[in-house]
């Protein structure tokens, strides 16, 4: 090998180079976090052009860090600023420095947590996180959980587990129940879990987009009488559209009576359980057989983190475990689980630390207070918009989504209304269809969103409604 032809950074850089690069990144991140409130919420314009400029293939000989970092920076700045206090679109995620730091460390030492034998103490840290989450919902000691990359994969494992536990190998005639407000990843999960399209039963909702419990019972009984096998009901604890919370206690009752697995998709709403109001609104969730959570929403962590909790940990394992001869040296998991037996994944990142480090450093109370503040601010925003006769707010927020539209305005008028709101570049809202009508929504989840921002948002929305 001709060494002189090689100019790139060695695969293991020299100590000074490691430090130098890490310092540049650290300094950039510090500036980033400190400037979030001032950064335009929709980022720099010409995002597609920036993307095109960055088209490239890696060279044989490598390049210097500074020029690469300049490009990465450009990519970052040409993005919507989901971490900004004014980002009220979809379900935002805040991002935490302490979580990024945990990832840097965990990826740096490259610890393996797919099985518990290689790095049991790192697995213990992940277990601490999962046990803490399970305790929020009063799940019993036999409960087990997994950290996934997001709510979608948590829902997938939940549906696969329910199918395996309740239907066994032959599940062609199985049926499950949810509403048309459920997140699309739930029906997608069912498809990926091998269930035919006809297995999905859409239960009607009430005026506030919550599942009609009586209709659920009737549909289950009718299906059973017709020879089908109802096995699962998926309730939402905070829908993405309107933040609606299905009547969990009533649904839980039907689930018990009818022998259905109750899965609660709490990807958006679940961590409001940390607050007194949230506990009230999610009452009944503790009866679930499984719960999906998204720490990258309700705990403000960076993207790439969902969680699934399952009341009967044996059911989760039964659905996912597959013996492998090449893993025989690892032994039987006793105190600590081999996560690969509970999830579709084997090798993966040590994602427990990115939750544990923020929880321990900031304390649980910091998360509770931030979520409580979002509930307060939702009331402030809802009340102020309600006062404006030009606006129509057909539903009271059940968590932190405020749906609104121009009173008497058609879809086009509301689409332009949304454009005017976002044109100010201080806040960013999104839209959805409700009863087939274009409806705007503001969703408050970013922990950096405080009263000053909401006051500004009220001004912006009212001014846009006047135009």
Ligand X SMILES: *Cc1c(COP(=O)(O)O)cnc(C)c1O
Cβ nearer to ligand X, comparing 122 with 159: 159
Which strand (E) or helix (H) includes residue 141? none
Smallest distance from ligand X to CB 432, Å: 12
* Whole-angstrom distance, CA of residue 158 vs CA of residue 214: 24
Question: Hunting for tokens 């995620």 — which residue is that?
Answer: 93
Cβ nearer to ligand X, comparing 186 with 421: 186
* Whole-angstrom distance, CA of residue 160 vs CA of residue 148: 14
Task: Give 112-135 as a DSSP string.
Answer: --SSSSSSHHHHHHHHHHHHHHHH
Cβ nearer to ligand X, comparing 188 with 386: 188
Phi, psi angles (nearest 5°) of residue 128: -55, -45
* Whole-angstrom distance, CA of residue 94 vs CA of residue 446: 5
Query: What tokens does 75 get?
Result: 């990519």
Smallest distance from ligand X to CB 296, Å: 6
Cβ nearer to ligand X, comparing 294 with 312: 294
Smallest distance from ligand X to CB 109, Å: 26
Residue 170's beta-bridge partner residues? none
Residue 307's beta-bridge partner residues? 147, 293
Smallest distance from ligand X to CB 445, Å: 10
Smallest distance from ligand X to CB 56, Å: 29
Smallest distance from ligand X to CB 245, Å: 11
* Whole-angstrom distance, CA of residue 397 vs CA of residue 385: 12
Cβ nearer to ligand X, comparing 82 with 417: 82
Name the closest residue to ligand X (Cβ): 151
**H-state helical runs in 196-272:** 213-225, 248-258
For residue 28, the SS3 value is helix
Cβ nearer to ligand X, comparing 42 with 152: 152
**H-state helical runs in 83-239:** 97-109, 120-136, 151-167, 184-192, 213-225
Phi, psi angles (nearest 5°) of residue 217: -60, -45
Smallest distance from ligand X to CB 184, Å: 8
Binding site for ligand X (CB under 6 A): 91, 150-152, 183, 185, 236, 240, 265, 267-268, 294, 306
Smallest distance from ligand X to CB 153, Å: 7
Smallest distance from ligand X to CB 240, Å: 4
Smallest distance from ligand X to CB 314, Å: 25
Smallest distance from ligand X to CB 331, Å: 33
Instruction: State the CB neighbour count (10 A cutoff) for residue 277.
Output: 14
Is the dihedral angle over the CA atoms 96, 100, 101, 105 positive or is it negative? positive
* Whole-angstrom distance, CA of residue 185 vs CA of residue 191: 10
Within 13 Å of residue 328, how many CA atoms lie on the same side as its CB? 2
Cβ nearer to ligand X, comparing 187 with 236: 236
Cβ nearer to ligand X, comparing 122 with 251: 251
- Going from the C-alpha of 200 to that of each of 190, 197, 229, the distances in angstroms are 8, 6, 12
Phi, psi angles (nearest 5°) of residue 148: -110, -175
Cβ nearer to ligand X, comparing 259 with 303: 303
Instruction: State the CB neighbour count (10 A cutoff) for residue 380.
Output: 16
* Whole-angstrom distance, CA of residue 63 vs CA of residue 60: 9
Q: Cβ distance 292 to 165 under 8 Å?
A: no
Task: Give 423-441 as a DSSP string.
Answer: HTSS-B-EEEEETTEEEEE
Cβ nearer to ligand X, comparing 306 with 352: 306
Cβ nearer to ligand X, comparing 116 with 157: 157
Smallest distance from ligand X to CB 297, Å: 6
Question: Hunting for tokens 């968590």 — which residue is that?
Answer: 399
Cβ nearer to ligand X, comparing 90 with 231: 90
């Amino acid at each position: 090998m001709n060494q002189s032809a090689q100019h790139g950074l060695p695969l293991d850089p020299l100590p000074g180079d490691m430090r130098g690069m890490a310092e540049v990144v650290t300094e950039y991140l510090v500036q980033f976090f400190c400037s979030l409130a001032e950064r335009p919420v929709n980022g720099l314009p010409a995002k597609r052009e920036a993307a095109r400029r960055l088209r490239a293939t890696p060279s044989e000989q490598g390049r210097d860090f500074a020029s690469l970092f300049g490009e990465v920076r450009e990519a970052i700045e040409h993005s919507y600023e989901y971490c900004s206090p004014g980002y009220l679109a979809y379900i935002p995620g805040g991002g935490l420095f302490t979580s990024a730091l945990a990832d840097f460390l965990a990826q740096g030492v490259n610890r393996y947590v797919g099985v518990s034998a290689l790095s049991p103490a790192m697995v213990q840290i992940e277990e601490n996180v999962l046990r803490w989450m399970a305790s929020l919902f009063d799940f019993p000691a036999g409960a087990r959980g997994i950290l996934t990359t997001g709510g979608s994969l948590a829902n997938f494992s939940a549906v696969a587990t329910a199918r395996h536990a309740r239907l066994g190998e032959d599940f062609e005639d199985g049926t499950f129940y949810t509403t048309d407000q459920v997140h699309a990843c739930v029906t997608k999960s069912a498809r990926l879990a091998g269930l035919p399209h006809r297995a999905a039963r859409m239960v009607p909702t009430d005026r506030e987009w919550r599942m009609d419990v009586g209709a659920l019972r009737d549909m289950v009984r009718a299906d059973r009488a017709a020879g089908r096998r109802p096995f699962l009901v998926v309730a939402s604890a905070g829908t993405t559209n309107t933040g609606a919370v299905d009547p969990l206690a009533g649904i839980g009752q039907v689930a018990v009576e009818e022998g259905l697995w109750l899965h609660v998709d709490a990807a958006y709403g679940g961590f409001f359980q940390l607050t007194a109001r949230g506990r009230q609104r999610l009452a009944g969730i503790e009866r679930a057989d499984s719960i999906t959570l998204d720490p990258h929403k309700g705990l403000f962590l960076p993207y790439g983190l969902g969680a699934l909790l399952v009341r009967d940990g044996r059911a989760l394992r039964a659905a996912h475990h597959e013996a492998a001869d090449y893993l025989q040296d690892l032994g039987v998991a006793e105190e600590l689980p081999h996560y690969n037996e509970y999830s579709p994944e084997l090798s993966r990142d040590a994602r427990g630390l990115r939750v544990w480090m923020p929880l321990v450093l900031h304390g649980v109370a910091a998360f509770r207070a931030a979520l409580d503040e979002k509930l307060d601010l939702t009331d402030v925003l809802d009340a102020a918009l309600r006062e404006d006769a030009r606006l129509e707010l057909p539903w009271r927020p059940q968590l932190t989504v405020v749906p609104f539209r121009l009173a008497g305005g058609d879809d086009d008028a509301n689409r332009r209304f949304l454009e005017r709101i976002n044109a100010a570049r201080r806040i960013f809202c999104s839209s959805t269809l409700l009863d087939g009508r274009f409806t705007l929504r503001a969703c408050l989840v970013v922990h950096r969103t405080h009263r000053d921002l909401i006051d500004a948002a009220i001004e912006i929305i009212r001014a846009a409604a006047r135009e």
